[in-house]
Amino acid sequence: MSLRTKLFLPLGLSVVLLASYVYGFWIPRLLGDADNDFQRSTERHLESVAEGLVPLILGNDLDAIYANLDALLRKNGDWWNIRLFDREGRSLYPIDDSLNAKSDKTEDLRTLVHEISYLGVKLGSVELQADFAQRLNDIRKRCLTLVYTFLAAMLLFFLFTGLLLDRVVRRPIKALADASERLVAGEFEMPLPKPDNGEVGTLLKSFANMREAIRTNSQRLLEGNKQLRREIAERSKVEKALRESERRFRIMADSSPMMLWVSGTDALCTFFNKRWLEFRGRTLEQEEGNGWAEGVHPEDFDRCLETYMSAFERREEFSMEYRLQRFDGEFRWIWDIGVPRFSSDGEFSGYIGSCIDVTERKLAEEAKVRSERIYRQMFEGSRAVKMLIDPETSELIDANPAAEHFYGYAAEDLKRMKISDINILPPEQIFSEMARAKALNKLHFFFKHRLASGEIRDVEVHSSPLDFGDKLILYSIIHDVTERKKAEESADRANRDWERTFNAISDMVMVLDDQYKIIRANKATADAYGMSEQELVGRLCFEIAHGENDPPAFCPHSLLLKDGKEHSIEAWEPRLGCTLDTRVSPVLDDSGAIIGAVHVARDVSERKRAERSISLMNFALDNVREAAFLVDENARFLYVNEEACRVLGYSRAELLTLGVPDIDPDLPLERWAAHWNDLKTYPSLTFETRHKARDGHTLPVEISANYFEYDGQGYNLGLVRDITERKQAEQDRLNHLRFFESMDRVNRAIQTTDDLEQMMRDALEAVFSIFDCDRAWLFYPCDPDAPSFRVPMEITKPEYPGAKIFNVDIPMPEDMAQNLREALESVGPVTYTAGTEKPINKVSADQFGVKSMMMVALYPKSGKPWAFGLHQCSYTRVWTQEDERLFQEIGRRLADALTSFLAYSSLQESEEKLSAAARIAHVGYWERDYSAESITLSEEACKIFGLPQNFRFPKLPEWHERWKILIHPDDRQKTTQAFADAMRGGPVYDIEYRVVWPNGDVRAVHSHGEVTRDESGRPRRVLGTMQDVTERKQQENEALSKELLALKDKTALQMAAAEELKQLKQASGKLAGEKA
């Protein structure tokens, strides 16, 4: 088959099939759809004519009725006649049928009737006769013109393509085929046609590249063959080296003092060294595989094998101890270590292990256990308090029962404690003392220990280091010396009280005599000058304090000696590097003479730095971007920065006269005490609230509250951040979430039913709940020029009922028509509020108490627009932008749903009409689906076959046998053969045959079916129609019988005439003979 044939044959068949499909299926279906569309549009037009006649009929304006109907007949050329009847059926128009009936002949004249009613009261009816044939003929002509034009274009395309293929493709490909045959013969240098820029040129270039690649690959194969020979030689050398390496390993293994073993990938041992075999006293053959396990002690056997196999499965290193029988029958403890082996390319090769005899170590460990048992008896049986302490961690390793009794803790509790839990010394000092005991520098101590009851007891501790395995511990014996300590301390208490009091003064205190000599100095003074109290006594104060030989001019002691009065001075002391506030008070003898003075000096450097810090803090707080408030425990402002004044619109002086309740509406004064307690409990607290500015508006804020105490007073420094934008972002997120949840709820309400009325009810109930309104409704049409409207669905609260008149025409009020006009002109929802520039229409406001209304126009793809709206009656509602956005999106979704449901209703109506037509014409349809092996019969088809209405359809093979049984025996062979021929691709299945009903009746059937095939040509399904033609056959038989009778009578007459003619001829012959 040539290239042109391969190309044009499928294309030609495709064109033929496409033309057959267009002419046999698409055009009839298009004409059917057009016919349905014309039918529906004419019905809608007639409905609008009827609605327009309502006010004229109510006004009894017959002249206007006649004029309108005459105009409609003139305007619509395919309208044949219009008749108008009153409620009793009397004709109102036309007065004379001959006046407006058109005289043109028509092939398809149809009559449509529509009832005219108002508020449920019938006013009459209108009847229309329309001609549908002309429109359908125009469409049929345009479709045929399109098909013929397409076929002519395809014919020209095939002619042009054939010429082009011969020149561009066939000739170069033939030349390329010749070159390929020469290439097979080994000719690499033969010439090729000159390539062009098309696909054939690309093919020629690819062929040239392929020829060059073949030449190059041939050379590479030769080089590769040489390289392969070299690699084989190298591999032989490597294998030889590997065998030599294995020999050396066996020599090294047999020389090792350890017992070695090797296993393969199957976990079975393949090698044991000489040391192992000597230990076991067995041969290598006896130990190979699992033979070695025969020497494992029965008590260790399961554990040993489980450890080995679990490590083997995970390819992990393992170690274990078990008892293995030696050659003399004694079981020895073995420490076995195994590691996985891997080849150079990472492939697992098995395990290699080494074993050591650890029997002596095991015996030593058992002896140690016995020794520890003896020590434990001595330790726990003693009445003295004894403890073992780890000096590195201070943990209590052990304590005897005497320690439990003394400290009041259970033994387990003591073992979980540290020595710092009972010794009241700082932990670092405890570690220091333990280090001294560990180094044997000090073994005797006095400490204070805390009992479980909280009582502090003085104890005497004897502690010494003890070797405890791999580390040193402290073995401590403790005696209670509390009573002894009390006796010792009572003697020195009086002296220490005064010393403590004097040294407890944090200020620097010195007592000077009248010669400037230091008599006493407290610890704070000695620490400040880096000397002890004893070193200061007897020294001149100005030498110590100022490093001078004479008192300075500002010396307050000199002033006191002169006037006998107290003096104070604040001065910088370079030697101490601080500012001292010094106060000098005189010391008098019994006669009142000055014998010295008490100097009290206080370091005020921190106060000075604090004053500077406060100044810096004020400056910093005034320049931060957050508002700052300093609040006391009475909720009064002690400090506010510039940002606080700017945000709230107050001056600083005004704010300092206010308190927290004045600017925070959520924190009144009666709640302040509880809030202050929360601040004291949680010194750092972050929370959100609202602040009220001077102009009255509130703003959301986030406050970081920080509680602190200064000089015995509690304060709160609050840093306030305006979070209006963040709150708006959070609200936007919540609005988005509500939007998507609401749309999902409406979608689910729409998708859960296929009934239009139920869908509208479910959708309105969802909208009613989402917006929490008082009434949700739909009405039709949204046409301001329509004389009336209907309410298909309405959902209301019980306290705000609606009109409760569904699908009844209601006259259109003028102000409501204006609302509809505005809804149609708006791209989004329109809102109306009572008492504003856009008030509620009068009917809604007066009759239904509507205070706020929102509505939007819906545009289904068929019919007029609908109106969708909400009513709020309980209060005057201000609809937000989010409400309007969500309402608009719900409206769009409802419009899509109305489009689907209206189309579905129209489809159901068409199917009902088709079923009715099939029932009237006694036509049924059937379908055989070979992919699903199922049979489908229409209701009329079941009747034709005489099957019951509840007939249960079997699988396709079963039905085929049942179908053959239903056929009359005389027609069965030809019918099944015709069906089989059609399935094999023969003539179309079109046949008349008889079926036998279960009651014995015989019916004549005409059946026609078309086979649909898949890509491979196999039948996929057969769709067909069947008609009961019994009556027609009977009529044909009766007519044939009459024709046969007439023919029989005619034949008899002709035969009688012939006989008479024959007799006449005979008589004439006789007469002639007689005359002769």
Question: At the top level of CATH, which class does the domain 505-601 belong to?
Answer: alpha beta
DSSP 779-831: EE---TT-SEEEEEEEEE-TTS------S--EE--HHHHHHHHHHHH-SS-EE
| Architecture of the domain made up of 608-722 | 2-Layer Sandwich (3.30)
Answer yes or no: is pLDDT of 613 > 90.
no
pLDDT confidence bin for 170, thresholds 50/70/90: low
pLDDT tens figures, 710-730: 878 888 888 888 888 888 877
Average pLDDT over residues 526-547: 86
pLDDT in tens, 289-315: 889 999 999 999 999 999 989 999 999
CATH superfamily entry for domain 922-1028? PAS domain (3.30.450.20)
pLDDT tens profile 846-877: 888 899 999 999 988 888 899 999 999 999 99
Sheet order of strands, 471-480 included: 396-399, 385-389, 471-480, 456-468, 444-450
Mean pLDDT of 771-780: 90
Residue 907 has pLDDT above 70, yes or no: no
pLDDT digits (tens, 9 = 90+) for 331-346: 999 999 999 988 877 8
Which pLDDT does position 4 carry in this prediction?
60
Mean pLDDT of 1026-1054: 77
Among the listed residues 567, 521, 568, 523, the one whose alpha carbon sits nearest the alpha carbon of residue 541: 521
CA 935 to centroid of chain Cα atoms: 44
Per-residue CA distances from 393 to 420, 447, 472, 473 (Å): 10, 19, 12, 10
Give mean pLDDT, residues 386-399. 88
CATH number for the domain running over 770-908: 3.30.450.40
Domains 608-722 and 770-908 share a fold: yes
pLDDT value at position 616?
Answer: 65
Give yes or no for residue 452 having a pLDDT over 80: yes
**Number of residues written out for the chain:** 1076
Residue 193 has pLDDT above 70, yes or no: no
pLDDT recorded at residue 735: 74
What percent of the chain clears pLDDT 90, i.e. is strictly above it?
Answer: 15
What pTM was estimated for this model as a whole?
Answer: 0.33
Query: Which range, of 681-695, 724-738, 854-868, averages the lowest pLDDT?
Result: 724-738
pLDDT at 353: 92
Q: Which fold has domain 256-357?
A: Beta-Lactamase (3.30.450)
The model's pLDDT over 393-416, given as tens digits with 9 standing for 90+, comes to 889 988 888 888 889 999 888 888
- Higher pLDDT residue, 1063 or 150? 150
| Residue bearing the bigger pLDDT, 1043 or 48 | 48
Q: Token pair for residue 104?
A: 């043109």
> CA-CA distance, 90 to 124, in Å (whole number)?
9
Average pLDDT over residues 983-1006: 90
When comparing pLDDT for 1046 and 532, which is higher?
Answer: 532
Task: Give residue 426's pLDDT band: very low, low, confident or very high (50, 70, 90).
Answer: very high
- pLDDT score of 222 more than 90: no
> Encoding tokens for residue 701?
């804020």
Pick the CATH number of 364-488 from 3.90.25.10, 3.90.1150.10, 3.30.450.20, 3.40.50.150: 3.30.450.20
Q: HEC profile for 484-502?
A: HHHHHHHHHHHHHHHHHHH
- Distance between CA 676 and CA 634 in Å, rounded? 9
- pLDDT in the model for residue 62: 80
Question: Would you state the pLDDT for residue 437?
Answer: 87
User: What number is the average pLDDT over the span 116-136?
Assistant: 80
Do residues 68 and 79 touch, judged by C-beta distance below 8 A? no
What is the average pLDDT value for the chain, to the nearest integer? 82
Q: Using the predicted structure, report yes or no on whether residue 361 has a pLDDT greater than 70.
A: yes
pLDDT band at residue 623, thresholds of 50, 70 and 90?
low
CATH 3.40.50 fits 3-151, yes or no: no
pLDDT class of 99 with cuts at 50, 70, 90: very low
Instruction: Please name which of 473, 454, 455, 476 lies closest in space to residue 402, comparing C-alpha atoms.
Output: 476
Which region among 315-329, 739-753, 930-944 has the lowest average model confidence (pLDDT)?
739-753
**What's the average model confidence in pLDDT over 900-907?**
68
The domain locations on the chain are 3-151, 256-357, 364-488, 505-601, 608-722, 770-908, 922-1028
DSSP designation for 420: G
| Best-predicted range by mean pLDDT (226-235, 254-263, 956-965) | 956-965
User: What's the rounded mean pLDDT across residues 472-493?
Assistant: 82
